[in-house]
Amino acid sequence: MKHTRKLTAGLLAIAMAASMAGCGGNSASSAAPAPSTPAATSSAAAAAKPLTGGGSKIMYIITPSHSNPFFKTEAEAASAKAKELGYEVKVVSHDDDATKQAELFDNAIADKAAAIICDNAGADATVAAVKKARDNNIPTFLIDREINESGVAISQIVANNYQGAKAIAEKFVEAMGEKGEYAELLGKESDTNAGVRSTAFHEIIDQYPDMKMVAQQTANWEQTEAYQKVETILQSNPNIKGIVCGNDTMAVGAAAAIKAAGLKDIAIVGVDGSDEAAEQIKAGNMVGTALQQAALIAEMGAEQADQYLKTGTTGKDEKQLVDCIAITKENVDKLKNFVYSG
């Protein structure tokens, strides 16, 4: 029966991948019950009169806090590519505060920015800021996180969170021996990626009746909060055998809590592909992670901004998926700074 369930999971993953190959959009929409089925339509924004920019050669790059290495990497990659393409760059952080993000968009408008590249502060809260930039002739190119409206941004380039979370969930189930109690740490509720990843995790894990989730808590993508949540979870669930985490920052926090409790052989997985997670995998404290190709996605944002400003089109659909790569002890040596060299 165990082999049958695993085969079923594999066939389901292949079927879903095949259905995605026939579509051309993004899997991370919070409104879609099947986030792996992206919309195939080209951007309404691309079909409208092209935005020519505010008049300067400044490209704004707006991301969450650089204290998270993922966001630091994407900001640096987008900045380097934009400079290579001949733009002046302003790199700023909204710290996941939608009000601060709106102020940064206002600054970009005041600076007559050529374009804005943004890893946004909320799928709903960001729509108004992107529309305001658009009303001022400034195109926005979203990376990593999408918004809940199409035809506003020019591009929404995101990791295939659904595919990646399912891939690492397979490794989690295998490490758990297809049975045992586990907990889940969720990301920030305002981020569509949190829901997409959790849904994908459970499409795999829930096929195994001997896998029992005993706790599910939000740690808001944060390492310290994850550490504290796991401490609390362990008090009520001493027999826990695994923790599935919505990102690597929380997974690293969970691993630290497990170590502090003197426990071993607890299966922990995350999503992102950070160097910190890679070190935990090498040390045997984590099973694996799903690499989001942050640098590649950020570079794509800068390249598409440049092409759009020069030609009036990116040549791509608005919503674009970049596949994740499952990282375990077998291939972790090929991972460095969110880049896979395999």
The CATH number covering residue 133 comes to 3.40.50.2300
> What is the bridge-based pairing of β-strands 180-186 and 211-218?
parallel
Query: What pLDDT is recorded for position 86?
Result: 98
Q: Is the same domain home to 74 and 145?
A: yes
Q: Is the same domain home to 254 and 302?
A: no
Is residue 18 situated within a structural domain? no
Classified as helix, coil or strand, 198 is helix
| 58-63 β-sheet, strand order | 88-93, 58-63, 115-118, 140-143, 155-159, 319-322
User: CA-to-CA distance for 53 and 38, rounded, in angstroms?
Assistant: 28
Q: Is the same domain home to 59 and 181?
A: no
Is residue 3 situated within a structural domain? no
Based on the structure, what is the number of domains in the chain? 2
Is residue 75 situated within a structural domain? yes
Which residues of the chain fall short of a pLDDT of 70? 1-48
Query: What pLDDT is recorded for position 178?
Result: 98
User: CA-to-CA distance for 312 and 318, rounded, in angstroms?
Assistant: 13
Q: Is the same domain home to 176 and 266?
A: yes
User: CA-to-CA distance for 175 and 244, rounded, in angstroms?
Assistant: 11
How far is CA 328 from each of CA 66, 241, 250, 300, 331, rounded to the nearest angstrom?
25, 18, 17, 26, 6
Say if CB 266 and CB 241 are below 8 A apart.
Answer: yes
Q: Is the same domain home to 300 and 260?
A: no
Q: Give strand pairing partners of 228.
A: none
Q: Is the same domain home to 152 and 301?
A: yes
Query: What pLDDT is recorded for position 190?
Result: 86
Q: Is the same domain home to 115 and 195?
A: no
Is residue 6 situated within a structural domain? no
Query: What pLDDT is recorded for position 173?
Result: 98
Contacts of 246 (CB under 8 A, 6+ apart): 184, 185, 186, 187, 193, 194, 197, 198, 221, 270, 271
Candidates 164, 144, 121, 120; CA nearest to 70 is 144
Contacts of 54 (CB under 8 A, 6+ apart): 108, 109, 111, 112, 113, 114, 136, 137, 138
Q: Is the same domain home to 154 and 166?
A: no
C-beta neighbour count of 57 within 10 angstroms: 16
What is the reported pTM?
Answer: 0.77
Domain limits for position 136: 23-158+294-322
Q: Is the same domain home to 71 and 133?
A: yes
Helix (H) or strand (E) holding 289: strand 288-291
Query: What pLDDT is recorded for position 68?
Result: 87
Is residue 250 situated within a structural domain? yes
Query: What pLDDT is recorded for position 191?
Result: 87
Q: Is the same domain home to 191 and 149?
A: no
Is residue 8 situated within a structural domain? no
Cα–Cα–Cα angle for 244, 249, 252, rounded to 5 degrees: 70
Is residue 5 situated within a structural domain? no
Is residue 13 situated within a structural domain? no
